[in-house]
């Protein structure tokens, strides 16, 4: 756990969040500031700063679980969904704990801003 990380505090139950899924070291919560009718965040319970910092070697299972969970949650919405992994300052990342956004429930446009 990283002591100054919001998502680590959510994982530890120190900050409340609406948890929609929790299994195999992965947790999914509702985003506090939703950008679509459905906006979930899927993250590993252990602290990893972002996808670039992730050490894939030896932990491919974690990424599989992360993406599998995100895809399963998104697939509940028949019209489709979008997965987003903002990475670093220019990538729009504001919370430095790896997370996959699951957006659904409206038509998504492209390119993103």
Give the interface with ligand 5GP as residue ranges (CB under 6 A): 6, 15, 17, 29-33, 41, 86, 92-95
Q: Count the residues in the chain.
A: 113
31 contact choice in ligand 5GP, Zn ion, none (CB below 5 to 8 Å, kind-dependent): ligand 5GP
Out of 21, 54, 99, 101, the active site residue is 99
Kindly state the smallest distance separating residue 2's Cβ from Zn ion, in Å.
4
Residue count, binding to Zn ion (CB under 5 A): 6
Kindly state the smallest distance separating residue 58's Cβ from ligand 5GP, in Å.
25
Q: Which is nearer to Zn ion, 44 or 74 (CB)?
A: 44
Confirm whether 99 is a catalytic residue: yes
8 contact choice in Zn ion, ligand 5GP, none (CB below 5 to 8 Å, kind-dependent): Zn ion
Helix (H, G, I), strand (E, B) or coil at 32: coil
87 contact choice in Zn ion, ligand 5GP, none (CB below 5 to 8 Å, kind-dependent): none
Phi/psi of residue 7, each to 5°? -70, -35
Closest Cα partner for 25 from 42, 5, 3, 2? Answer: 42
Helix (H, G, I), strand (E, B) or coil at 30: strand
Neighbours of 62 (CB within 10 A): 20
| Helix ranges, the chain (H) | 6-11, 60-74
Q: Which residues belong to the active site?
A: 99
């Amino acid at each position: 756990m990283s002591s100054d990380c919001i998502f680590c505090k959510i994982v530890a139950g120190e900050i409340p969040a609406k948890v929609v899924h929790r299994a195999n070291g992965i947790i999914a919560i509702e985003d506090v500031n939703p950008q679509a009718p459905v906006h979930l965040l899927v993250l590993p319970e252990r602290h990893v700063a972002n996808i670039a910092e992730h050490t894939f070697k030896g932990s491919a299972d974690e990424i599989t679980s992360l993406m599998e969970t995100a895809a399963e949650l998104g697939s509940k919405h028949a019209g489709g969904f979008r997965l987003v992994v903002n990475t670093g300052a220019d990538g729009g990342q504001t919370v430095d704990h790896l997370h996959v956004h699951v957006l659904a429930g409206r038509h998504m446009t492209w390119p993103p801003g």
